[in-house]
Amino acid sequence: MLKMQIIGNLGKDCVVNNVNGKSVINFTVAHTERFRDAQGNNQEKTTWVDCAWWTDRTAISQYLTKGKQVYAEGNPEVRSFTRADGTNGAVLSLRVREVQLLGAKGEGGVPVANSSYNTGTASAVPAGGDAADDLPF
């Protein structure tokens, strides 16, 4: 089994689609690594990952907006294709099993929605909300 985990920012708002009666949430996550090259120059490398999350828990889609920082976990897939000019290309995609909202871009991981969505449970706290307000005791 291959498993991939990514923490990054959403490149645009998610899209909820219905395919053969099942819901899928599509979103794109960008992960940027900063490093110094052999000459000591600062460099950046951004990797984009197309994510597809097949779930009936589409309520989270209102929080999956451009710039939000997320953690996504699932199975990686590489799709190959041929461009219009005849060159080959590949896209890294992730079949998502779990998503956690971490915050907005530039917030350093401060929770905006303290949510953990997986196949078992789901709960969401809107921006400005307090997770303690949702505790059953």
Q: In this predicted structure, what is the pLDDT of residue 107?
A: 55
Q: In this predicted structure, what is the pLDDT of residue 124?
A: 40
The answer, as to whether pTM is greater than 0.75, is no
Q: In this predicted structure, what is the pLDDT of residue 104?
A: 66
What is the count of structural domains for the chain?
Answer: 1
Residue 47: CATH number of its domain: 2.40.50.140
For all residues of the chain together, what is the average pLDDT?
A: 81
More confident residue, 17 or 114: 17
97: containing domain: 4-134
Ranking 50-59, 102-111, 128-137 by mean pLDDT, the lowest is 128-137
- Which range in 64-73, 116-125, 128-137 is most confidently predicted, on average pLDDT? 64-73
- Using CA atoms, how far apart are residues 3 and 25, in angstroms rounded to an integer? 19
Contact between 51 and 28 under an 8 Å Cβ cutoff? The reply is: yes
Q: In this predicted structure, what is the pLDDT of residue 84?
A: 94
Distances (CA, A) of 57 to 47, 60, 107: 27, 7, 26
Confidence of residue 83 (pLDDT cuts 50, 70, 90): very high
Q: Which whole number is the average pLDDT over 84-106?
A: 88
Q: What DSSP state is assigned to residue 107?
A: S
